[in-house]
Amino acid sequence: MGFENVCKSLNAYFSNNKFLAPIQAFALPATFVCGALMIINQFSFISLSWVYSVIEVIFYLSFFMLLGTENFLMIAIALGLKCIEYLLDLIIILIDIHSLSLSCLVYTLTFGFLAYLAYMKSVKGNK
């Protein structure tokens, strides 16, 4: 029950914040759009250094707002997008440089496991 309390606290904080409360309605589409842009960035040959950083900040801010909604299926999908991003990064490094990036492997496993846990939480919550 501790995680649900954290989600409720996040929802209360974002709902009472004058700047973030209007933005909270756009948390779900912003999370998915930013996640998709981060995956697309893996295939682009153009360096989006500062733009990518802004997209990542928006992703995490909207992800925390999404946590406040306690919609665990959407949280699992958002974490899955992040897992796919790191998996693609791992595969690209493996093909281009012929070496294994342990940081990408750890991130892939971590985000994949968290996505699995969120998905299982959504399945148990529907019963």
Whether residue 109 is predicted with pLDDT greater than 80 in this model: the reply is yes
Q: For residue range 7-52, list pLDDT tens digits in order.
A: 888 888 888 888 888 888 899 999 999 998 888 888 777 667 788 8
Tens of pLDDT along 57-89? 999 999 999 988 888 999 999 999 999 999 999
User: How far is residue 74's CA from residue 28's CA, in Å, rounded to a whole number?
Assistant: 8
Q: Where are the domains of the chain?
A: 2-126
Q: What b/e sequence results for 13-52 when a residue is b if at least 16 CB atoms lie within 10 Å of its CB, and e otherwise? A: ebeeeeebeeebeebbebbbebbebbbebeeeeeeeeeee
CB-based contact 35:59 (threshold 8 Å): yes
Residue 127, pLDDT > 60, answer no
Per-residue pLDDT, 1:
55
- Rounded to two decimals, what is the model's pTM? 0.86
70 and 11 Cβ atoms separated by less than 8 Å:
yes
